[in-house]
Structure formats: C-alpha cells, structure tokens
Amino acid sequence: MPTLDTVFGVHANALKLREQRMAVLASNIANASTPGYKARDIDFSSALKLAENGQSADGAMRYRTPLQPTLDGNTVELAIEQTAFAENALAYRSSLSFLQGRISTLSRALKGE
Amino acid sequence: MAEKLSIFDISGRAMAAQLVRMNTSASNIANAGTVSGSESKAFRAMKPVFQTIVGEAGRATVEVTRIDTSTATPVKRNDPNHPLADEDGNVWEAAVDSTAEMIEMLEISRQYQNNVQVLATAKGLISETLRLGQ
C-alpha cells in the first residue's frame, strides 16, 4: 500500500530543503555588506541523505571558501550567491512540476477519466 | 537568542538597512561643499554600522546598530572675504568625499535591487506552491 511519502518520492524532502537553502542564500545576499559575516550554504546531496534518515539539514551546513578574501572579513561573493540562488530556485520549480505531474496522475486515476 | 526568520524577514530587513545607508549617503552628498566658521561646527560624513542578526538554521539578516560620524577632519581654507570666516579669515569645508559617496550609492542601489529580486523570486515560488494540485 503506497503512502503519500512513497507517492511523492524524494520531492517532498527536496522541496523542503530547497526552501531552507533559499533562506540561507537569501541571508548571504542580505549580508553582502556586513563586515565579518561568513557566507554559508547547504550541501544539498548530504542534506537530502540526512533528511531521508529523519535528521535536520543543520549537519549539512558549510561555510563558503571565498575566492578573494576581503579586508573586512566578509566572505559573501555576490556573483556566486546569485548563481546559487538562481540554480536553487530552478531546482525548486522542477521539484514542483514533478509533484504537479504526480498529483494530476493521481487525481485522473481517482476520477476514472 | 535565535529568531525565526522567514525569507521575507531576511530580505525585508536587509532592504530597510540599505535604505538607512542610502539616506545617510544622501545626507553626506547634500552637505558636501558646505562651509562653516569653526572646525567643530563643520559637517562630518556619517556612516551606518551594519550588524548581522543570527536566526535559526543558518538564517541571518542585517540591521543598523548605530550611525557613526567620520573621523576625517574638515579642510581648513583661508578665505577672508567669506561671510562665515573667523577672525583669522579661515573657513572649514565639510569632511565629505563626494566621489566615495557616489560609489557608495551605486553599491547600495545594487544591493537593494538584489534583495528585491530575492523577494520577488521567493514570492513567485511560494504562490506556485500554493497552486500545487489545482
């Protein structure tokens, strides 16, 4: 008997993690000019492994290594953060469309169309 | 104590902080070139101090803790014909580097735009998620 977890597969966890990663990347962009701020990111594949075992994404949090360290100790590099944010938003959208497909399949089966 | 921060808190508060920075920069530019009759009365550039507000699960936003006055000294100029000149004929020009302030403005506006973009993307994704299954 398939449960909702098996029906939606990895995408239920993926969507939650993508949302968390989006907040972390938004924090980096928000702190682009705060002296001493250390940029962070979630290592997505290890976060997904942790989520499958029911653990939080905190264990997959990493500090970013800057390409060019700045004098004020801030490690946010806007170009990197913006590309990561765009990539993450796209991955969120693809998880959404996978879920959408699964839901419409199910509802079509339920309606017997 | 770690706060619960949503993406809207993160970007919204960062935009508010950048706006404070934009206002101080605008004041500095507005007062560039003003002169005064004594060194203590001369205008000195203002700079906001940014600090991270740490939230839960790697989230963070930013706030302005205080606004500092620049330590740059006003430029003394000898101009005996100036109506504000003291008995030695000196006036003091505001300690504002207008080129640096203009560049600061460019940076502020870019970072403000970045936060707006983050907010717009997050808003779009959330409303798409709300329409899921419809």
Mean pLDDT by 10 residues, chain A (113 residues): 70 88 92 90 89 82 88 90 94 92 88 81
List alpha helices for chain B, DSSP H: 7-31, 98-130
Measure B100 CA to nearest chain A CA, in Å.
16
Residue B47 CB-half CA count within 13 A: 15
Under an 8 A CB cutoff, do A33 and B133 touch?
no
Q: Which of B29-43, B67-81, B109-123 has the highest mean pLDDT?
A: B109-123
Percent of chain B with pLDDT over 90: 43
Q: What is the pLDDT of residue B49?
A: 92
In terms of CA atoms, which chain B residue is nearest residue A101?
Answer: B133
Measure B62 CA to nearest chain A CA, in Å.
6
Q: What is the pLDDT of residue A31?
A: 92
Give the rounded distance of the alpha carbon of B97 from its chain centre: 14
Say if CB B53 and CB A37 are below 8 A apart. Answer: no
Among B65, B109, B118, B121, the strongest candidate for a mutation testing the A interface, having the largest count of A CBs within 10 A, is B118
Helix (H, G, I), strand (E, B) or coil at B51: strand
- What contacts B128, CB < 8 A, 6 or more positions away? A93, A96
Q: What is the pLDDT of residue B58?
A: 83
In terms of CA atoms, which chain A residue is nearest residue B13?
Answer: A30
Q: What is the pLDDT of residue B11?
A: 92
